[in-house]
Structure 1
Amino acid sequence: MKSSVSFTIIVAIIFIQALTPFTEENKKGDFDWHGDAGAIDIEGDWAHRGYSLNVPDNVKSYWLAFRVAASTEDDKWRGPFNNDGDKCWHFHGIINFIHRAAKMLHDFFFSIIHF
């Protein structure tokens, strides 16, 4: 009985992973925030205010790059995403801050990059 339950769970996990869209996370390297590295749009604001970025119709796929001011961590990369409609993201996580008090007031930037 135990082996059939284990087999069912393993098959279910494989099936779920096969149907999950491929997204690369934490692509190494920092984005060139001050240069022209293929950015379509760059936005930044204080946390919890929300953001809106526009992707032109001629761009078929894109990446998102994130950074938090005063963080010692690498930029976070997510993608590639297909430009096939409006998208809404919710990002959560812990970033290494220089000052703990900055956690509520961190300056958050992200960019859409087309390669």
Structure 2
Amino acid sequence: MHRFKDLEIWKQSRAFCKDIYEITSVFLEAEKFGLISQLRRASVSVPSNIAEGASQNSNKDFGRFLEIAIGSCYEIETQLLIANDLGFIKGESLNPVLLKLEAIIKMTSKFKSTLK
């Protein structure tokens, strides 16, 4: 078992979740049950799956939860790109968020590869 609160991937994904809430706060009200909800739920899923996986008894099980977290990251990336296509996010706001997301994906993948 791992102490999830000590994991850098959990800390960064938790901070990223806050970023998503801030970004989506300026979306159109009509998107409340669309992209806003999807992005927020997916962003909450990342640190949540890391925390849940850390409680597992085996590294194999933990790795499965890390895979789910990575999948949520790719879901977020897709939704951010769609939000950009629809004009809800401009490129200057999108690029820093995508860079943070890419860093979280890389860190999580690397950490997963250390679990044996």
Q: Smaller-chain TM-score range?
A: under 0.3
Identify, as 1 or 2, the structure richer in helix: 2
What TM-score do the two structures reach when normalised by structure 1? 0.24
Identify, as 1 or 2, the structure richer in strand: 1
Q: Which has the larger radius of gyration?
A: 1
RCO greater where, 1 or 2, for CA within 8 Å and sep 6 or more? 1
